[in-house]
Amino acid sequence: MPKETALFLRQFVTNPLQVASVVPSSRWLARAMAQGLGPNSGRVVEFGPGTGVLTSGILETGLPPENLSLYEMSPSFAKLLKKKFPNITVHNAPAQSVVGNVEPGVEVVISGLPLLSMPMAVRESIVKAAFEILRPDGRYVQFTYGAKPALSAEQLDRLGLKVIAGPKVWLNIPPARIFIFQRA
C-alpha cells in the first residue's frame, strides 16, 4: 500500500467525520473540480486538500503554484502537503481562518471538505468564509457524495447565493457530484 494511501486510511480511522472517505479522491474528480482554471487564472484557495489529489489536478491546469493556498486541519496531511508541494502556501488551519489571512479577490475556492458530515452551522460558516475572500464573480466549487448541495435553500438565501449542479463523477469511489456556488 502506498504511503499516502496508508496515511489517508489512518486519518480516516482516527477521525472519520473529518476525512469522510476510506480512499482519496480520484484524478477524474480532481480534473472536474479544476475545470476552467489555467495559467492565467487568478488566486485559488483549496479547503481540505488531504493528500493533495485535488491540488495536483489544480496544478495540472497550469495554475502557477504561487497562486494557490491550501487550508488543511490535519497536521499529518499538512506536513505531507508541505513536502509534496514546496512552492505552495499550506496553512495547518480550519477553512474559516482564511478570513483575515487571505486578501479578498480570490477567483475560486475549491473544497474537498466533507461538508455533509458536518453540522449545518459549520457548513454555512465555511461557505460564508469562502465568499468573504472571493471576488464578486468568484465561485466556490464543492463536491459531495450526496444528491443535494451541502447548504439548504434557506442558508443559500441568507448568504445571497445560488448553486448550480455540476457533473457527477462516476470514476470516483464513491461517485461524487460537483456543486458550484456563486453570488445570486
What is the signed CA dihedral for 167, 173, 174, 176, rounded to 10 degrees? Answer: -20
Rounded CA separation 180/183 (Å) = 10
> Could you read off the pLDDT of 43-73 as tens digits, one per residue?
999 999 999 999 999 999 999 999 999 999 9
Q: Where are the beta strands (DSSP E) in the chain?
A: 44-47, 68-71, 89-91, 106-111, 134-144, 161-169, 176-183
Return the pLDDT at 25.
80
- C-alpha grid cell, residue 39: 495559467
pLDDT in tens, 125-163: 999 999 999 999 999 999 999 899 999 999 999 999 999
> pLDDT at position 5, please?
53
Residue 177 Cα distances to 105, 135, 143, angstroms: 26, 24, 5
Between CA 34 and CA 44, with CA 38 as vertex, the angle to 5 degrees is: 60
What confidence score (pLDDT) does residue 2 get? Answer: 54
Estimate the crossing angle of helix 3-14 against helix 75-84, to 10 degrees. Answer: 160
22 closest CA partner among 34, 36, 7: 7
Domains of the chain are: 3-183 (3.40.50.150)
Residue 88 has pLDDT above 50, yes or no: yes
> Looking at per-residue confidence, does 118 or 8 come out higher?
118
Q: Residue 119 — φ and ψ, nearest 5°? A: -60, 150
